Structure 1
Amino acid sequence: MAANLDREQVKHVAELAKLSFTDAELDKFVPQLEAIVELFDQLEEVDTTGVAPMTTATDEVNVMREDVAVKSSDELRQALLDNAPETENGLIKVPAILDGSED
């Protein structure tokens, strides 16, 4: 995987992540991403024979609780809406993150 990354590849990956960069930012990120890929290449060379896969760094287990809807007071609800940057019909309005494209 030690192929050099070019600006178009980095730009394509950025677009897939819904990011946009200026030309100056791309000039900065291309060598940084190449360095990251090189680190992964080094990790691939490590002999992991006999090493069990690790799924978590600790033995801790998530403690889950029942998800229960609780009716809030109108005062608390309005306080929340007052702090939201944009609301519509009594709900918090957020920007779309999915544009329907297949990319």
Structure 2
Amino acid sequence: MTSSRPAPHGGGSRASSAGLAVAAVARRLGVAPATLRTWDRRYGLGPSARTAGSHRRYTPEDVARLLVMRRLTLEGVAPVDAAKAALEAGVEELEEATEEA
């Protein structure tokens, strides 16, 4: 029987092509998985893809937007405003957020 868990951070192509699971993204951002689900539901900051079983899979761009959201909320910006800024962030800002992380 095969495991339904994502591959470890060993860099396997299967894990990166399918995207990152909620738990992996939550660890990277330092937030609870429930926070990511809430940001998805309330503000539309969800993953670009889902598996057949409706499991969230985050792309690098999705993670970059979440990094912007997290940075802004830590700076004291209201979550609704931080989410708007994250959704409107351009490529340059997303690349910068990824480099800072």
**Greater C-alpha Rg:** 1
When normalised by structure 2's length, the TM-score is: 0.25
When normalised by structure 1's length, the TM-score is: 0.24
